[in-house]
Structure 1
Amino acid sequence: MTPPTDTVLRVTDRIITRSETSRAAYLKRMEAARIKGPARAHLSCSGQAHAYAASGPDKDRLSEVSAGNLGIVTTYNDMLSAHQPFERFPELIRAAAREVGGTAQVAGGVPAMCDGVTQGEAGMELSLFSRDVIALAASVALSHNTFDAAVFLGVCDKIVPGLVIAAQAFGHLPAVFLPAGPMQSGMPNDEKSKVRQQFAAGECRRDRLMEAEMAAYHGPGTCTFYGTANTNQMLMEFMGLHLPGASFVHPNTDLRDALTREGAKRALNLSALGNDYTPVCSILDEKAFVNGIVGLNATGGSTNLLIHLVAMARAGGIVLDWQDFSDLSEVTPLMARVYPNGLADVNHFHAAGGLGYMIGELLGAGLLHADTRTIAGTGLEHYTQEPRYADGTLSWRAGAGESLNEKILRPAKVPFQPTGGLKRLTGSLGTAVIKVSAVAPEHQVVEAPARVFHDQGEVNAAFKAGELTGDLVVVVRFQGPKANGMPELHSLTPILSILQGRGQKVALVTDGRMSGASGKVPAAIHVCPEAVDGGPIAQLQDGDLVRVDAVAGVLEILAEGVADRLVATPDLTANQAGTGRELFATFRNTVSAATAGATIFGG
């Protein structure tokens, strides 16, 4: 394998230095937990009886405390397509555990919400906070302290990051993440997007929109575009918490079931009672997070991970900042074109060679740390292999040595573009991030008058009234984590795309999130300080000249006297109640800035 490049080493070293104190404290806690040994041995007989009372055929084996007990943390529900397949997983896992002399119990369920359902609705204001709720709920599940390893069943946007945060709280235990896989391909994503734009422009009826959406989202599994959910799956392979090649295998297939069973067995083998003790704290180190950031850049992944990876890392005492992402982006080639960055979906990407091919290419280019520990063993080269299931046997073999479709997946030396497309922006308007992997070069610099709004509904009303004319920077503020939970503003995508398609220069600036589906319109998002903290974005007025420059990394107010103005103070009471929002006041009051992961957890 090619040694890591100077940039990869430099960024890794500064993360290690920056994290030295907090990482050492975290590892000390994990070592203290480890030396206590298998947890059940320390429970009282009464406590153990409570834990084993309903375990049926596993009761005697559990009471012996000599075989590993596997905790299952599940996000199963049958409303969400990505999580419905998990209904079958616990029985598969229990049976697999018994085959190797162990046991498995469902430790607990955690919530799983879908941003696709809540887009533009009040429920979206709970979406980001659900990540930390998931971490708390998973910690409650594992707090019974009766488990020697854990498997985590989760896929989508805030769910995997929340589960990773919890896994690190119990970092002395092994953790294996078991995905459900993507749904079969339906209506092509670009066709669906066209119908959405037609509906936004009043060119088609709602029944046509509904028909298109149902044709796109039509069965069990993850949505097939490359948003946050599928970016999560990519990260779990690049960071070594999935079995190799597990991310994009369809639900309810023989191969998916075999991978689920093998994941359970692997988790028990990695426990202190197994043959290859590998706690999650030894997998998720600084090098693993650098590998994850490189994967994010190489695939053109979701902007949401600029928040989630920071929060995930901090749970293990590792301190990332957005400059790390930007610097690694500068040396990481964009190797994939998957919708919204191209026409293909994740099934096409997987068929073209997928993550195994990408990891092999990036290892060869010296852009990944090859020596990381993973659930598959030491060395990221395990993840260049792909699984096969034949004649009742699961095995791995060398993956595609070349791209099978260079319209979707290209070699590292001949990429779609030389950089990953994630950029940190700084200037008099604050700091922000922008994703330009799908933004044409002629749209990457916009200097235009601001049009200021306080929610996306106001933008929609102005669009329908024909007010959004000429070149403009659409500013949507008071959308940060402290203001209203930082909802995604994905419903703005069709409107902004229409304006850009008319020949207008247009950009978005917001202290909110855009989406894992950020697309062709330049969007400076996650602006810090947010408006509710009195950031400069709260002093902007209609007509102020603003420059969004993704090439130079600049986010500037070009108007005079803006800093002398009073900050805007809108009435946010409507965001504080209804749809459960009143229960999340503590989250809004304690959440950190987006630059620190927008989390309620300190560190």
Structure 2
Amino acid sequence: MTANAPIHPVVEQVTQRIADRSAASRGGYLDRIRQAASEGPVRAGMPCSNLAHGFAACGGADRIAIRGETKPGVAIVSAYNDMLSAHQPFAEFPEWIKDAVREAGGVAQFAGGVPAMCDGITQGRTGMELSLFSRDVIAMATGVALSHEMFDGALLLGVCDKIVPGLLIGGLAFGHLPTLLVPAGPMPSGLPNREKSRIRQLFAEGKATRDELLEAESASYHSPGTCTFYGTANSNQLVVEVMGLHLPGASFVAPGTPLRKALTEEASRRVVQISRGEDYTPIGEIISVKTIVNGVVGLLATGGSTNHTLHLPAIAAAAGIELTWDDFSDLSAVVPSLARVYPNGSADINHFAAAGGVQTLVGELLDAGLLHPDVRTVAGPGLDRYRQQPFLEDGELVWRDAPKRSLDPDVLRGVDEPFAPEGGLRVLDGNLGRSVIKVSAVKREHRVVNAPARIFDDQHDFTAAFKAGELDQDVVVVIRNQGPQANGMPELHGLTPALGVLMDRGHQVALVTDGRMSGASGKIPAAIQLTPEATAGGPLAKLRDGDMVRLDAERGTLEALIPDDELHARTPAPGAAATQFGTGRELFTAFRTAVGRADQGASVFAGAQAARTPSDLPA
């Protein structure tokens, strides 16, 4: 095939139906951001007192530049903190950015910081109940940072989980601003992920000590940089690069290297270049229906994080675009699986990058007609630019064409020899509601499970039952009252080692929950993000211990094998407590009240009323 291959008919059909259903909301959004745009620096129209406050802390050339009201101003919004390995490298970035923006004819100011929490640290702890809501807090903090109207462009510094989606949602509220996302890069490869998982399972069985487990974990997460498995953090990086929001090849360059610094400086120069004139490229027009579809395709082709079935609809909604789980499902049916990165394989993200990475992947998908080439990006018009990889030649940043074919077919393959003919994500429907499942790491013989339910309302009760030997059988583990209205929809990745033990003992095992799993969801078939959630009166609240449940990832169904009239007649079990305290949870009561459904992005900004419309709930 050639780079001009026609768009796959299903990709075209899904794109068109998204555009049709979003016509009014997208049109309104574009009208708003175009009205917000200005010919020159917006600060030129400020009253003198306001402007004086804006440069009071500046000195030297920057003070003169801001006061002069002619040079473009660039906002730096950063998720830096030195507790998170992925964000610690950002400490150095602001000074690099300020120098590079100054050289390019602009002036940069650190506009604000946003919170950045680590799901790895809070996993299985009460703090995880703040995690998903932190995305919307980050969006609001980004909005606060940009609200001073001192800026003509923005650089958003973030990597992990909820942080990149939050930065994007906040940035899209200022969609008239040219905006680049600036990553920090992955840490070097450490202990192989499969070995780490093996020791986790041994610990769950009582066959490894805490010291042995801690040694394995610290050998995996061992230095500054992003964790190297293909969870939500690295899915963020790949997806936004495929969407044209990074400079080409920026996602997986290690921190602390000359190339990482050069890419950061080039992003700084680039935001100045696209802030005005013929190159003016606002983020609200980069993120279009075609861009969103490209992001979904990139996610599916690589078996990326299930968390993006929440984040991409929320990001799309912030740009006036309505993306649904049906769109994910229909695209997954035609997008082949081209990558094997842990937990979908043994390789880590550094191995993926060495095999050709995002650039080889983009080339394959473009040549197969699975990506829209005619999009705007921060690097210029068209996605073909993202076939190129960055290098340093005599200290100068240059781009060269990436390998057209993978350098390691055990990690990355072409469309003509995929690991699987379809993507790794499916939607499950049935009398328990609607959920998603990631099957890219689930062996085919484990994709259909028919077993009695064992129901828990708390993940710690499950752990206690496992340790007591109560679950050593075929079982569908149900963890309910874990949805966004109940407790903020925490990740339940801590269940994986114990469930893996049960599967390895030869049992049929599945997980069903209205909560989330980690972006590192692995070999256990898990129907997650079930909606309507139990707390909102969903059918899951009517399930009882011993009810037979059938999860069929091949057919796309999730069903309680009991008569519908019996299920409907049952009284729902009590929901979660209306108010929760400790670890800051009391601060988020308003969020739990306002949050929308999982299939609408679980956002507090949109869909909240629809989430509570009785007609949306099964009878």
Query: Structure 2 length normalisation: TM-score?
Result: 0.96
The Cα offsets for residues 523-565 of structure 1, whole Å up to 9 and x where unpaired, read as 0000000000110000000010111111111011112312210
1:213 maps to which of 205, 217, 223: 217
Equivalent residues of 2:158, 2:164 under 8 A apart = yes
Alignment pair present for 1:251 and 2:259: no
- The CA deviation at 1:422 is 0.6
Q: Is the contact between residue 269 and residue 275 of structure 1 (CA under 8 Å) also seen in structure 2?
A: no
| Poorly superposed stretches of 4+, deviation over 2 Å | 35-38, 570-573
Aligned to 2:581: 577
| SS of equivalent residue, structure 1 residue 319 | coil
1:535 equivalent to 2:538? Answer yes
Describe the SS at the equivalent of 2:333. helix
The reply to whether residue 456 of structure 1 matches residue 432 of structure 2 is no
Q: Is the 8 A contact 2:481 2:576 kept in 1?
A: no
* Matches of 2:20 and 2:74, distance apart in 1: 35
Question: Is 1:548 the counterpart of 2:546 in the alignment?
Answer: no
Matched, 1:140 2:140: no
Measure how far apart 1:47 and its partner are.
Answer: 1.0
Structure 1 residue aligned with 2:601: 597
Q: Indicate if the aligned counterparts of 1:186 and 1:217 stay in contact, CA closer than 8 A.
A: yes
1:515 is matched with 518
The equivalent residue for 1:296 is: 299
Q: CA deviation at 1:570?
A: 4.2
Tell me how far apart the structure 1 counterparts of residues 551 and 266 of structure 2 sit (CA, whole Å).
48
Distance 1:184 1:56 in 2: 39
Q: 2:610 matched to which residue of 1? A: none
Structure 1: how far apart are the matches of 2:179 and 2:204? Answer: 44
In 2, distance between residues paired with 1:132 and 1:456? 25
* Residue aligning to 2:568: 563
CA distance in 2 between counterparts of 1:455 and 1:2 reads: 50
Q: Is the 8 A contact 1:72 1:104 kept in 2?
A: yes
- In structure 1, how many angstroms separate the alpha carbons of the residues matched to 2:493 and 2:584? 22
> In the aligned structure 1, how far is the partner of 2:40 from the partner of 2:113?
25
SS at match of 2:493: coil
Judged with a 3 Å threshold, the aligned counterparts in structure 2 of structure 1 residues 519 and 571 are, in CA distance, closer, same or farther, namely closer
Q: 1:513 to 1:161 in 2, by over 3 A?
A: same
Aligned to 2:81: 77
- Larger mean CA deviation between 438-447 and 124-133 belongs to 438-447
1:416 matched to 2:419? The reply is yes
* The one of 359, 365, 368 aligned to 2:362: 359
Q: d(CA) in 2 for partners of 1:11 and 1:437? A: 22
User: How many angstroms apart in 1 are the aligned matches of 2:422 and 2:518?
Assistant: 20
Q: What's the counterpart of residue 225 of structure 1?
A: 229
**Matches for 1:40-59 after TM superposition, within 5 Å:** 40-57=43-60, 58-59=62-63
TM-score using structure 1 length = 0.99
Give 1:390 deviation, angstroms. 2.2
Q: Which residue of 2 aligns with 1:435?
A: 438
Identity %: 60
Separation in 1, partners of 2:338, 2:263: 27
The corresponding residue for 2:498 is 495
Q: Compared with structure 1, are the counterparts of its residues 63 and 275 closer, same or farther at alpha carbon in structure 2 (3 Å cutoff)? A: farther
Instruction: Output the CA distance in 2 between the equivalents of 1:15 and 1:602.
Output: 17
* 1:348 corresponding residue in structure 2: 351
Q: Counterparts of 1:257 and 1:18 in 2: how far apart (Å)?
A: 42
Rounded to whole Å, the distance in 2 between the matches of 1:281 and 1:221 is 29
Task: Write the letter of the residue equivalent to 1:569.
Answer: P
Deviation at 1:101, TM superposition (A): 1.4
**Aligned residue for 2:72?**
68
How far apart, CA to CA, are the structure 1 residues paired with 2:78 and 2:108? 13
1:419-446 deviation line (CA, Å, top 9, x unaligned): 1121111110100000100101111111
Does residue 114 of structure 2 align to residue 110 of structure 1? yes
2: CA distance, partners of 1:96 / 1:442: 54
Cα root mean square deviation, aligned: 0.9
Give the AA of the match of 1:263: A
Instruction: Work out whether residues 40 and 70 of structure 2, in 8 Å CA contact, stay in contact via their aligned partners in 1.
Output: no
Q: Aligned ranges for residues 266-305 of structure 1 at < 5 Å?
A: 266-272=270-276, 274-305=277-308
Q: Work out the CA distance in 2 between the residues paired with 1:423 and 1:401.
A: 29
Cα shift readout 1:21-47 (whole Å, capped 9, x = no counterpart): 111111111111014752101211111
Structure 2 SS opposite 1:300: coil
Instruction: Name the SS for the 2:360 alignment partner.
Output: helix
The alignment partner of 1:438 has SS state of coil
- Runs of 5+ unmatched residues, structure 1: none
Which residue in 2 is equivalent to 1:237?
A: 241
Cα distance in 1 for partners of 2:141, 2:576 equals: 32
**Higher deviation after alignment, 104-113 or 45-54:** 45-54
| 1:155 equivalenced with 2:159 (yes/no) | yes
Task: Name the counterpart of 2:615.
Answer: none
Q: Which moved more, 1:19-28 or 1:128-137?
A: 19-28
CA contact (8 A) 2:43 2:69 kept: yes
**Residues in 2 aligned to 1:523 and 1:570: alpha-carbon distance in whole angstroms:** 22
Count of residues paired in the alignment: 601
AA aligned opposite 1:404 = L
- What code does the residue aligned with 1:384 have? R
**Would you say the 8 A contact 2:482–2:489 is kept in 1?**
yes
CA contact (8 A) 2:448 2:552 kept: yes
Residues 7 and 331, structure 1, Cα contact 8 Å, conserved in 2: yes
| 2:405 is equivalent to residue 394 of structure 1 | no
| Structure 2 CA distance for aligned equivalents of residues 421 and 79 of structure 1 | 32
Counterpart Cα distance in 2 of 1:465 and 1:288: 50
The AA in structure 2 aligned to 1:556 is E
* Structure 1 contact 510–527 (Cα < 8 Å) conserved: yes
AA at the equivalent of 2:302: T
3-state SS of paired residue (1:248)? coil
Determine the C-alpha separation between the residues in 1 that align with 2:278 and 2:226. 34
The counterpart of 1:3, out of the listed 2, 6, 12, is 6
